[in-house]
Amino acid sequence: MNSMIVLAHPSRESLNYSLYQGLCNKIQRQDLFPHDLYREDFPCILPVEEIQRGISTDDLIGQHQRELIQSDRIILLYPDWWSMPPAILKGWLDRVLTAEVAYSWQGEEFMEKNKNPLLKGKKIHIIVTADGALDFYWLKKLWGEKIWGYCGAEAKLYLFDNLKDQPYKSVQKQMQAILSGLLVE
């Protein structure tokens, strides 16, 4: 099973980075596409020329798209900032989940088109951390329906919220449970 792991946290001292390292260490290297967006200096700003062309000429974007297509399981790890993912992850979504990669349009020229999701069968795991409370239902709708559901993939959320109020041992136990669960799916 090929796995793509995408980390969107700037600090190597974070819980997100610790989870990322744990997952990378447990998944066989030949089946793994690890991406630390900040370390890669991922180009998250979508140029107008790319919108007009409908395709990116950036090699890193192309690599992410190819690996996404090859992956059976995609794991996203990010901190919740202002009830949103970091801008670098939003940029990743904009530039990687494009037409002919994540979905396509079918139909006669000059007629109404039908959307064809291209990521059917892929399992998406989204791990979100936050100091405060997270709105599970809003995040489930965003990730499960609006983003990945649109592309035909099945998304599952893992939330680590209210972290500032939890003892480290409790968080560590939750983290181990998530790592174990992800690796058997």
Question: Greater confidence, 133 or 88?
Answer: 88
Q: State pLDDT tens for residues 9-61.
A: 999 999 899 889 989 988 877 899 999 999 999 999 999 999 999 899 999 99
The domain locations on the chain are 3-184
Model confidence band, residue 185 (pLDDT cutoffs 50, 70, 90): low
Predicted pLDDT of residue 72? 96
Model confidence band, residue 163 (pLDDT cutoffs 50, 70, 90): confident
Model confidence band, residue 180 (pLDDT cutoffs 50, 70, 90): confident
Contacts with 78 (C-beta within 8 Å, 6 or more apart), sequence order: 7, 8, 9, 16, 85, 86, 89, 126, 127, 128, 129
Average pLDDT value for residue range 84-113 = 92
Predicted pLDDT of residue 113? 84
Predicted pLDDT of residue 166? 78
Structure tokens at 149: 């559901």
Structure tokens at 40: 């890669």
- Looking at CATH, the fold of the domain delimited by 3-184 is given as Rossmann fold (3.40.50)
On average, the pLDDT of the chain sits at 91
Question: Pick from 91, 23, 103: which is nearest to 60 by CA?
Answer: 91
Predicted pLDDT of residue 161? 87
Average pLDDT value for residue range 81-107 = 95
Q: State pLDDT tens for residues 100-112.
A: 999 999 888 777 8
Predicted pLDDT of residue 70? 97
Contact 150, 93 (CB under 8 A): no
Is the pLDDT score of 99 beyond 70? yes
Predicted pLDDT of residue 20? 93
Predicted pLDDT of residue 46? 95
Predicted pLDDT of residue 184? 67
Place of tokens 């630390």: 36
Is the pLDDT score of 128 beyond 70? yes
